[in-house]
Structure 1
Amino acid sequence: MSTPDTELAIETSGLVKTFGKTRALDGVDLAVPRGIVYGVLGPNGAGKTTAVRVLSTLLRADGGQARVFGHDVRRDPDAVRSRVSLTGQYASVDEDLTGTENLVLLGRLIGYGKPAARERSARLLEAFGLTEAADRQVKNYSGGMRRRIDIAASILNTPDLLFLDEPTTGLDPRSRNQVWEIVRVVVAQGTTVLLTTQYLEEADRLAGRIAVIDHGRVIAEGTPGELKSSVGAGSVHVRLRDAAQRPEAQRLLARVLDAPVEPEPEPVALTARLTGGGTGAGGQGGAEQASRALAELAAAGITVDDFSLGQPSLDEVFLTLTGRPAEQAAGDGDDGKEMAA
């Protein structure tokens, strides 16, 4: 086969996959640049895992096109497989083997000689903080250690594209942060990462661009900042010096900002939820509104100890796009249709 290439790591057009009457992918369009973490965010059952399995050649799409580094996943699957690696939602290593035995075995299977496989295994175990556990059976590893050994196995041969399918599901905060650091290191070494997640914070912290998928469709795409600005809302937070001035400050802010202003539990604090137009609170319009409000407070003799303007959160973006908060969406999806994939 020919060896085409492109500036995009992944490109899909109208991608469709059905399971019986369930349309797991319903016309997915993606354009994933090289060299970044690209987040695919959505609730359980949204189509994230199905998309990963199609792109990694584990499933055949029923419609549309998909290319990885210019290679068609249907017509040239071997070329795609030579450049990608996949870490799924569940441990892929042998739990009865030690960490070293797992990595050496996989290294031999992909073509390393025994000394080279042992050397590569030792380097990865050290890099991932697993040297002390190298001679322990994986079944005795913690959840975070299992995810780290999984990712280590995925990059024995450094892939051009690494699929991470919900790699931190069920992990405690410390283990999640460790996995995040590993992802950053992998990308810094030149690998593109497609990360599926239902955790808003994870997408916000890691991804250079994000596609939000719901019911098998991409409903929004952009940088985290672009997605936040697109909802056209943000928050102004005010902390006064004198609690007695709060009622007057609340009235003044409501008038100047033309937005609801709510008192916080702290008696000197107020929060206004901006509803500006296309510029959004994070852009020029929101900043101008906030500056006018601060000037009006000063002119009225109201002393402000703290004043801040915040962008909307990804949680607010998700609520706006899907009509439900992320916590609810993460629990109401149908895992079955993706597990069946």
Structure 2
Amino acid sequence: MELELRHLRTIRAIADAGSLTKAATALGLAQPALSAQLKRIERSLGGALFERGRHGVRATALGALVLDRARVVLPAVRELQEEAQRFARSGAPVAERRRVSVGGTHGPLLGGLVDRLATGAPGVTVVTRTSWSEREIAAAAAEGELDYALIGTCGDSAPPEPARLVWTEVARDPVFVMLAAAHPLAGAREVELAELASEAWTDVPGDGCFADCFAAACLRAGFTPASVYETDTASCVHLVQVGRAVGLCRATFPDTPGMVTRPLAGTPLVWRHLLGRHPDAPAAVGAHDVVEEVRAAHRAAVTRSTGYTRWLAHNTGQRAD
């Protein structure tokens, strides 16, 4: 793993907070997720950065060295970005400014947004960046590397970078389960989570709280998942199709040969689609139009999912347009 600016921000946050628990709260992370991230950073740097004690954490000699460098590098990078943004706003030719950069995690909306932007504004170059990490995408937008961050959060949990980004909720979906077409429950209108207690699970990775929310929902249903395979979307679909696992997906997941998607009874898990932007970014002036394009992309994704349109008709009495 290569050291990145977000890693330096994490190290600084831990040092400033004085404990992993307080730092996790400040960063909007679960404490186990922050601990795992710190271990990966320490492995990349060759040693422990903090010593844990009864009263919190204290930087080791290596940690003090890294912190000294971070406190120089991070403000310098921020100053560079602000200077570049001022320059971009000061009068660069319009042709040089017709570029929109969008970052996103896995899901159907990023492709739909790119298509709609390219169709509606053919003179604009759309640049994309993807990552499984919602926090990485949000940090890139906060630092001026992206114009927009298109991510998701579990339920009503707060999005990352709340102090530096303006977030707009563009849609809210139930989480569905993916089943092999031959699964005994494939013909059910909806599935009780407890009926899947003996199954292995598959899902795409992320650094938000979704894994914790899923585990909590399973506990409420009376079981603990035997195993969870975290992998890319194509591999998740394959594991479901061959009957190796059942999967979790957004309700907008498209119909796929060899598998079906079904709602979970009682909607124990919800996913919010969010668009974030820095309020001072040059592209922010067009934010309203971009929000509307994302919402239109979501509506189009809904129409491609027969399971979701059925769920909406049953639960709201309305058809998805």
Q: Which is strand-richer, 1 or 2?
A: 1
TM-score (normalised: structure 2): 0.28
TM-score (normalised: structure 1): 0.27
Radius of gyration: which is bigger? 1
